[in-house]
Amino acid sequence: MRHQPLEQILSQASVVEAAPTLSRRERLLRWAEVLQAAEARLLQPLRFVEFYAPAARARLRGEQTPLTLAFADPVLRSAGLAGDTLGEAQAFFGLSDDDTHFLLCDCRWHGRMTGGRVARRVRAVANPNVLNLLWMSFQRD
């Protein structure tokens, strides 16, 4: 290793901004913020999530879903969200099959799916308080 003055190093170096490193909870809370910003926007749930084989389930996507909003967010994309499929979301947000069913499946949405309503559920997954998750599981949005 050769000693060089700082000025010389700075003139030769190229500064690359590192992608933000977000914890699972921070990623989920950012997704909730994105959804909350579209509070009244009608979104589409994914249909029959629980009936697909794992490989087919991972490829599920749709237009105007909570996943398309997440993928449109530059912060989540720069943090590593690679697509708007269910598989990409599960990997990036650390979601279990039960989580994705709770958040995104049409059978769990017995009313209008809006950004604000999904944001509440995402926050419940990000803050796994047993009573909060139990309460949310009985909600009929």
Quick one: pLDDT at residue 4? 74
Cβ atoms within 10 A of the Cβ of 47, count? 13
Q: If we measure between CA atoms, which residue out of 110, 42, 29 comes closest to residue 75?
A: 29
Spell out the per-residue pLDDT of the chain, length 141, in tens.
Answer: 677 777 776 777 666 565 568 899 999 999 999 999 999 999 999 999 989 999 999 999 999 999 999 999 999 999 999 999 999 999 999 999 989 998 999 988 877 899 999 999 999 899 887 776 676 666 655
Q: Can you tell me the distance from the alpha carbon of 10 to that of 2, in angstroms, rounded to the nearest whole number? A: 15
- Tell me, what's the pLDDT at 14? 67
Alpha-carbon span 46 to 73, nearest angstrom: 20
Which value, to the nearest 10 degrees, does the dihedral of the CA atoms of residues 121, 92, 37, 138 take?
Answer: -10
